[in-house]
Amino acid sequence: MRMRRVTLNDIVRWKSAIAVLLFCAMAMIGSLGQTYHTIVNFNGADGAQGNSVTQGFDGSLYGTTFDGGTNNVGTVYKIASDGQLSSLYSFCNASTCTAGFGTSPLVQGEDGDFYGTNYEGGFLWGAIYTITPSGTVTTLHDFVSTDGAAPNRGMVLASDGNFYGTTYFGGTADVGTIFKITPNGSLTSLYSFCVLPNCTDGSYPIALLQGRDDRLYGATSGGGAYGYPSTIFRLNRSGLLTTLYTFGNTSSNTSPLLLVQGRGGDFFGLTTPSSLSCPSNPATCGTVFKLTPSGTLTTLYTFCSQPNCADGWSPGDLILATDGNFYGTTQLGGIPGCGISKLGCGTIFKVTPWGTLTTIHSLTGSPADGEEPTYLTQNTDGSFFGTTYYGGSHRGGTVFQLSTGLGPFVKLVQSSGKVGDTGGILGQGFIGTTDVFLNGTPASFTVISDTYISATVPAGATTGLVAVKTPSRTLISNAVFQVTP
């Protein structure tokens, strides 16, 4: 019998399959027990009421706080691998502080710096800024209302190397815009909402992401065919907006909060209460939903479905993890009577693409724990990091780490690019790396540090997962890299 020669591509495919099996196995292990611990208690002087954390090229975590710091209007901070917190910058609300205040989550650029938006300040209408890992801040743009006002929810780094975001106010009708800004600060307004009769195109945008089809998707908290409350839209690069779904009268007590694209291409998101009838009326406590690219919406889970809202309510965040499930937070519910509001200190949950929800952790509040968790992110070591708005030993909020048994992986700074483009890969244990592959095709690379690799999209590469062969293991990316024309 003639034996077929084993090729390098075969090895990569086998290792990719093994990695997927390991992820599934680790997910099963994680379901048997989780570990949760607080790593930072904000004390006011070093910040308070944190936003999400972002993994840097150096393996440290970087984030912003909405309050606290030298001027009590927020900070940018760094958490080293040993858990040490450093304040990098304190925002201020004086007329000379063009970077503004009222922070949103940071996004890391290909240059290693972090880019963020501030809801207020600058020249009154909010600002976009960049900050180096050492804390040097540069204002990229101050909004002037006609090009937008009050940028919110941060920005996304798209495949063209530019950043895209939304403003809650400003633009033609003063109900929000979508903008593009280059890394050097050149801003273009792509769309002003409420340009159609009766605002059927929506108003007050609150979320944005880049889909796998290279188009932008997002949600608004107002407008739509029914006048109120909200829509989900798609925008192509030329500025053409298509409304995919309008929340009608039967959804009048909820509003979409964000969108996440799942592995199969559908979008998943949260609706959050916009009335005071929850928890007495569980139907208004928030949901997890699925939306097909063609605009068919299915409600997967309704919060406060369990006695005393043990499953939480008022969801705050949702992310896709390496096991193919979604993980998120609820700001209220969980333990009855817990927290400042006595409405529960919130929960961390896992929900499958089919809507089966499991509560992973119910927060206990001050002094040992945080309350009202907001953002969540998955680190390349497999664990989750998040922030709470209140609670902790100083009641100024916390940063926590949650391990569910998911294994390490590599994260792509950009998720798409052309042949010859250079992009960043985040992870750990990179010293001594011997190979990097894009869907089985070897790529040239440079190991910058133990936590960062720069790699080039190779000729002949096709869309697929990135594999990094380190001395101890082969790490697989948590997302597909799209090779563009």
Residue 132's CB is within 10 A of a number of other CB atoms, namely 14
Q: What angle do CA 326, 285, 373 make, to 5 degrees?
A: 55
Going by the DSSP 8-state scheme, the letter that residue 339 receives in this structure is S
- In this prediction, residue 165 carries a pLDDT of 96
- 381 and 233 share a domain? yes
Q: What angle do CA 85, 404, 473 make, to 5 degrees?
A: 85
Q: How is residue 398 written in tokens?
A: 């916390």
* Start-to-end C-alpha separation, the chain: 42
Domain boundary among 377, 403, 429: 403
Going by the DSSP 8-state scheme, the letter that residue 453 receives in this structure is E
Give CA–CA dist 284/304, Å, rounded: 9
Q: How is residue 407 written in tokens?
A: 């294994």
| Strands 416-417 and 482-483, bridge-based pairing | parallel
- 355 and 447 share a domain? no
Give CA–CA dist 13/7, Å, rounded: 10
Long-range contact set of residues 3-10: C-beta below 8 Å, sequence gap at least 24:
8/440, 8/442, 9/440, 9/441
Residue 44's identity, in one-letter code, is G
Give CA–CA dist 137/131, Å, rounded: 4
- 391 and 423 share a domain? no
Q: How is residue 336 written in tokens?
A: 């009855």
Q: In what order do the strands lie in the sheet with 441-442?
A: 441-442, 435-438, 466-469, 474-476
Contact predicate 232/217, CB 8 Å: yes
Q: How is residue 108 written in tokens?
A: 């890391």
306 assigned to some structural domain: yes
Which segments of 13-113 are extended strands (E)? 35-41, 48-55, 61-67, 75-79, 85-90, 101-103, 107-108
- 114 and 244 share a domain? yes
- 478 and 370 share a domain? no
1 assigned to some structural domain: no
177 - beta bridge partners? 167, 192
296 assigned to some structural domain: yes
Could you tell me which residues come within 8 angstroms of residue 241 by beta carbon, excluding any fewer than 6 positions away? 191, 201, 233, 234, 235
Domain boundary among 403, 434, 454: 403
Is the peptide bond prior to 336 cis by the omega test (within 30 degrees of 0)? no
The number of angstroms, rounded, from the C-alpha of 317 to the middle of its chain's C-alpha atoms is 8
Give CA–CA dist 324/23, Å, rounded: 9
163 - beta bridge partners? 157, 181
Helix (H/G/I), strand (E/B), else coil: 199: helix
CATH number of the domain encompassing residue 432 = 2.60.40.10
- In this prediction, residue 13 carries a pLDDT of 43
Provide block-wise average pLDDT over 10 residues at a time, the chain (485 residues): 37 39 36 79 94 94 95 96 93 85 92 94 88 96 93 90 95 95 96 90 91 92 66 91 81 72 94 76 87 94 94 95 96 94 95 97 93 95 96 95 96 91 95 97 97 96 96 94 88
| Strands 416-417 and 48-55, bridge-based pairing | unpaired
Contact predicate 305/313, CB 8 Å: no
Residue 48's identity, in one-letter code, is A
107 assigned to some structural domain: yes
2 assigned to some structural domain: no
- 342 and 389 share a domain? yes
Domain boundary among 378, 403, 428: 403
Long-range contact set of residues 233-240: C-beta below 8 Å, sequence gap at least 24:
233/201, 233/202, 235/178, 235/190, 235/191, 237/160, 239/190, 239/191
Domain limits at 312? 33-403
CATH number of the domain encompassing residue 76 = 2.130.10.10
Does pTM surpass 0.85? yes
Please tell me the total count of domains within the chain.
2
